[in-house]
Structure 1
Amino acid sequence: MIAPDWMKDIAWDDNGLLPVIVQEAGSGDVLMFAWMNREALARTVELREGVYWSRSRGKLWHKGEESGHTQKVLDIRLDCDRDVLLLKVEQTGGIACHTGRHSCFFHSLVDDRWDEVEPVIKNPHDIYK
């Protein structure tokens, strides 16, 4: 894959990865954090859907490929240091987290413990077959 010129402006880490914050355009909620390599970013731009690099699986991961909860990408922004990406998305089905919740950020530090403060919208066993 030949990288387009604009991709050369990105400060990729030593592993060729870029951290990505995914924000719901309508609500402003931060839905998830992920990683992209050059191919994932190119596919995201091409499809206008979230495609990420799964470090645990060592492969591309098209968000929603199993669950159907895809992310329509409305805006792609690079931070001032050019080393973090922000995607503004429309989240299909309202579920971004593999736990069946709206956001992956559902643990809140309350006193001296982590509380789950967002409900499960759909049981993950019903999402992933």
Structure 2
Amino acid sequence: MTQAKATTGFLDQVNWNSDGLVPAIAQDYKSGRVLMMAWMNRESLALTASEGYAVYWSRSRKNLWRKGETSGFLQKVREIRLDCDGDTVLLMVEQQGGIACHTGRSSCFYNLLQDGEWQVNQPVIQDPKAIYN
């Protein structure tokens, strides 16, 4: 990933929602697999661009959330993309440790709709109790 220049003018090109947030999708840069979706504010996107690791905004805690700061499963950012409407960010990441979800799975998208019901279709790689003491 090319480090962001000292300017933060790129932030002005994002269409932030009324809460000052934009959805951010994390996708594995090698496989293309969608890992998770989270929210970013101006500060978290600027930090992600400058530090090279995913930083999100936690709506529930109302603070910055550095992905992997507790679990150790960091997301090294390879590319940052903005969609055509400017209202969704795509992070192409290297998911360290292979776990992106707080449930201990490789992706947060582990529920598959089959015959009108959600079915779990990914195993737990590591028990969340062992990840988050």
Q: TM-score, normalised by structure 1?
A: 0.96
Corresponding position: 1:47 with 2:54: no
Give the aligned CA root-mean-square deviation in angstroms: 0.9
The Cα of 1:50 is off from its aligned counterpart by: 0.5
> For the residues of structure 1 that align with 2:68 and 2:9, how far apart are their CA atoms?
29
1:38 matched residue in structure 2: 42
**Matched residue count:** 127
Runs in 1 of length 4+ with deviation above 2 angstroms?
none
Q: TM-score, normalised by structure 2?
A: 0.93
> For the residues of structure 2 that align with 1:6 and 1:38, how far apart are their CA atoms?
10
Corresponding position: 1:97 with 2:101: yes
Residue 27 of structure 1, aligned match among 21, 26, 31: 31
Gaps of 5+ in 2: 1-6
> Counterpart of 1:7 in 2: which secondary structure?
helix
What is the 5 A alignment of 1:6-25?
A: 6-25=10-29
The Cα of 1:104 is off from its aligned counterpart by: 0.0
> For the residues of structure 2 that align with 1:7 and 1:63, how far apart are their CA atoms?
20
Gaps of 5+ in 1: none
> For the residues of structure 2 that align with 1:71 and 1:65, how far apart are their CA atoms?
10
